[in-house]
Copies of this chain bind each other. A is one copy, B any other.
Amino acid sequence: MRVTVVGIGAIGRAWSISFLRAGHEVRVWDKAPGVVDDARKLIEIILPDLVKNDLLNGRDPADVVGNMKPFPSLEEALEGSDYVQECTAENVEVKREVFSRLDPLTRPDAILASSTSGIVPSSFTEHLQHRERCVVVHPLNPPYLIPAVDIVPSPWTSPETIERAAAFMRSCGQTPIIMKQEDPGFVTIRLQGMMYHECWRMVKSGLASPEDIDTAIRDGLGLRWSFIGPFETADLNAPGGIRDFVGRFGKDLRAIYPTDGPVDWSGELMDMVEAHRRERLPMSEHRNRQLWRDRRLLALAAHKKAQSKGA
């Protein structure tokens, strides 16, 4: 497949690795000069780590990066493309303008996918001539280590577009989450959001500290969730499966449902949570801890791959 990545900041760069690893030609364009060269250099730093962890499909890093092709104009980058991944600014006006350019410059059957994390596709594709091939394909970051992607159709996205986008994602090692209709809360965002809401609520109501809440996930619930989802977790947690689980625990879980609306994550509550975080991690160590997180994520991806091979 011939893929075009439009905008090669952090998201476009990470997508490129995923596409290149799958053996696709990746044509790249960015409106800012020099950004493409920076992206290539960063990708060259990342690839050896993927090789070391058996996460580059046995490919040679030099070949992989050689398949990334920068173009000075958007027109050339889009030439003959089968799949376009838009990774520009998170702003509906920008998306609208970019998609207005992409539509006439691409084959009518090329898929135009946006990386947006919360702008519904109808808001920037309605006016296009071939709007049925436009869809949101939203990654967690970085997609070459985190397989799940939200696929969000607009009301006019064709079923064939959804199917082809999902198939392309699977060919890149991603696992698509196919939303049945558009909604500003994508599945991955909603689940994150509800988790955050409950975390802040518990801190505000004085039940537990941010650190203790992090412990509950990091050393508790997050372990199972790194290889089975909530429905499967519940299904396996009762001898008779999910109906049995709800029969045993449903009433108690429903009883603790909050009815007081979302907590405001600001003011003194924010001061307190931020102070908690800075006590554990001074800003001077912030960048190092991000790099540590990235290494852990890489090691976990390698662990999961080895485990699924063994199964």
Q: How far is the CA of A257 from the CA of B192 in the complex (A)?
A: 11
Contacting residue for A250 out of B181, B243, B265, CB 8 A: B265
Given contact pairs A179-B208, A212-B178, A253-B193, A228 touches B218 in the complex (Cβ within 8 A): yes
Given contact pairs A146-B219, A225-B218, A227-B300, A207 touches B179 in the complex (Cβ within 8 A): yes
Given contact pairs A194-B197, A212-B178, A281-B235, A146 touches B223 in the complex (Cβ within 8 A): yes
Question: Which of chain B's residues have a CB closer than 8 A to the CB of A220?
Answer: 140, 146-148, 177, 188
Q: Are B207 and A180 in contact (CB-based, < 8 A)? A: yes
Question: Which of chain B's residues have a CB closer than 8 A to the CB of A255?
Answer: 184-185
A204-244 interface bits toward B, Cβ cutoff 8 Å, 1 = contact, 0 = none = 00111111111111111111111111111011100111110
Given contact pairs A194-B194, A219-B147, A261-B257, A230 touches B208 in the complex (Cβ within 8 A): no
Interface locus among A62-70, A73-81, A271-279: A271-279
Question: Which of chain B's residues have a CB closer than 8 A to the CB of A179?
Answer: 207-208, 212
A165-202 interface bits toward B, Cβ cutoff 8 Å, 1 = contact, 0 = none = 00000000001111111011101111111111111001
Question: Which of chain B's residues have a CB closer than 8 A to the CB of A276?
Answer: 231
Q: Are A274 and B202 in contact (CB-based, < 8 A)? A: no
Q: How far is the CA of A82 from the CA of B145 in the complex (A)?
A: 46
Q: Are A241 and B202 in contact (CB-based, < 8 A)? A: no
A267 to chain B minimum Cβ distance, whole angstroms, is: 11
- Does A301 make an interface contact (CB < 8 A)? yes
- Does A268 make an interface contact (CB < 8 A)? no
- Does A283 make an interface contact (CB < 8 A)? yes
Question: Which of chain B's residues have a CB closer than 8 A to the CB of A217?
Answer: 191, 225, 229-230
Q: Are A187 and B214 in contact (CB-based, < 8 A)? A: no
Q: Are B207 and A230 in contact (CB-based, < 8 A)? A: no
Contacting residue for A226 out of B181, B184, B226, B243, CB 8 A: B226
Question: Which of chain B's residues have a CB closer than 8 A to the CB of A296?
Answer: 227-228, 307
Contacting residue for A223 out of B246, B274, B286, B301, CB 8 A: B301
Contacting residue for A274 out of B148, B195, B242, CB 8 A: B242
- Does A256 make an interface contact (CB < 8 A)? yes
A78 to chain B minimum Cβ distance, whole angstroms, is: 30
A279-300 interface bits toward B, Cβ cutoff 8 Å, 1 = contact, 0 = none = 0110100100110110011011
3 smallest CB-CB distances across A and B, nearest first, come from A214-B229, A148-B220, A222-B225
Query: Can you show 13 pairs from A to B with CB atoms below 8 A apart?
Result: A146-B223, A177-B220, A189-B256, A194-B194, A194-B197, A196-B230, A235-B281, A235-B286, A240-B283, A241-B277, A242-B274, A250-B265, A292-B311
Other contacts beyond A226-B300, A235-B281: 16, CB < 8 A: A148-B220, A175-B215, A177-B213, A192-B230, A194-B194, A194-B258, A214-B229, A214-B231, A222-B222, A223-B297, A223-B301, A227-B293, A241-B277, A246-B266, A299-B303, A299-B307
